[in-house]
Structure 1
């Protein structure tokens, strides 16, 4: 019997509407908890509304994973609609409980869910879904596809450069002294995902040097594993991202270079103006 497979993710991937419709993705929203209430990403607020509210708020907001009740309701609905199972690609379990909740919600709904810890966020999650759907169309069985996607989780990269450390200080990621000295001396950090965790990789003077560090990492990877696509990711900083795209296209004219916004959940911690690069090697 042919299996009817549902695809599920969360807004850490921040897929655009065209991709969601084309690939029939069910998206669970992450939430931002402001002092005057909780707003679900892409449901209760747009990106512009989020950053406008972030600039004006006095108390620093927090982030929250999708409610488990919402997950259970989705899986029950999928079962009612005749789906055999779901493949759910979620943001890193080191940063959010979404992956664990997905497993629990599947059990509560008595519905088979293949939950995958992407060990990352953003663009690579989109590529995992694309890759998995391609394998399904080729006739591969679900268990094989899940295993192949899990393999891809170790072949991804995402590095970003916070615009300043003020937002990281507000979210408790750095001390006030570190933030003050960084802003005073124009110190820029390069922060990367490493096996699901977010770690500081480099500390340099000026944004240009930080961008060069990340670009050098990408260039080295291209020499080992040539890629057809890369994503420039940003927190409401399309101008800087577009400039970075132009630089990459000059060096790699045959490279498909995307410019993609980061989730509001990232914006809460990294801050408006953050930019970076992300890629996947297959």
Structure 2
């Protein structure tokens, strides 16, 4: 068998055991506060990030891995005897990481196949798992890349910010929208469409917003196979666990897990965000 390297970024939020099992090399996304730049999962934990975010008067910025960092990794993998690498990255609608990977892959004679996940979080994990299963079945790299690109259109992620405060601080919504949302308890549902987060619904109360997102999952379950669901969250595991238990009561046959979102999502969505993500087969 060919020696395969997987490359991704911290948007996938991979667990250490998964990284070791699948030989994944993770490039850290960054967040820039007024006191400096921090690499996710290296310089800053989730807890430390949200502590700093609460105290920050100015919204931090996000940053992507440098092309030089990518090139160094590609050269290292080539020296280690890998035949090629698949570089699966956060949606190009959110970050320039995929474009940088494309540019870096053209600067090296090591075979790198960049893929735009068109999403983030849980579906990226499934794409790596499915890719490895296909390699184990004898598929070649072009077939695997084509299959993963198909999965990007079947991947779903919708989330509900706890408030619009952070979206306002990061310039995504106006002060008037933020004020009215807090005053009237209006929740916004944001879903990924064609690789970009789109404001789908404005709904009174968090319960109704959750019911709306669950209805999207229910519709996909009626139209296809959804064996797993992730309850995604920005430093809001308690509410995510509640939603998980609600889902298990309604859908006892599916696997449900609670998954943290990248702090780069937290920069915009804000602490307290919850949502659902899944892949339809």
Whether 1:141 aligns to 2:108 is no
Whether 1:109 aligns to 2:100 is no
Unaligned 5+ segments in structure 1 are none
Q: Which residue is equivalent to 1:255?
A: 254
How is 1:117-132 mapped onto 2 (pairs within 5 angstroms)?
117-132=116-131
Measured in 2, the distance between the counterparts of 1:9 and 1:59 equals 29
Greater displacement, 264-273 / 107-116: 107-116
Question: Helix, strand or coil for the counterpart of 2:252?
Answer: coil
Q: Which residue is equivalent to 2:166?
A: 167
Q: Which residue is equivalent to 2:29?
A: 30
Q: Which residue is equivalent to 1:226?
A: 225
Greater displacement, 265-274 / 103-112: 103-112
Question: Helix, strand or coil for the counterpart of 1:258?
Answer: strand
Runs of 4+ in 1 over 4 A off after TM superposition: none
Unaligned 5+ segments in structure 2 are none
Using the TM superposition, give the Cα deviation of residue 226 of structure 1 relative to its aligned residue in structure 2, in angstroms.
Answer: 2.7
Using the TM superposition, give the Cα deviation of residue 248 of structure 1 relative to its aligned residue in structure 2, in angstroms.
Answer: 0.5
Greater displacement, 98-107 / 35-44: 98-107
**TM-score normalised by the chain length of structure 2:** 0.98
**TM-score normalised by the chain length of structure 1:** 0.98
Measured in 2, the distance between the counterparts of 1:220 and 1:40 equals 38
Measured in 2, the distance between the counterparts of 1:217 and 1:106 equals 37
Question: Helix, strand or coil for the counterpart of 1:108?
Answer: coil
Using the TM superposition, give the Cα deviation of residue 241 of structure 1 relative to its aligned residue in structure 2, in angstroms.
Answer: 0.3
Over aligned residue pairs, what C-alpha RMSD do you find? 0.8
Measured in 2, the distance between the counterparts of 1:123 and 1:35 equals 30
Q: Which residue is equivalent to 2:17?
A: 18
Measured in 2, the distance between the counterparts of 1:11 and 1:91 equals 9
Measured in 2, the distance between the counterparts of 1:153 and 1:121 equals 10
Q: Which residue is equivalent to 1:208?
A: 207
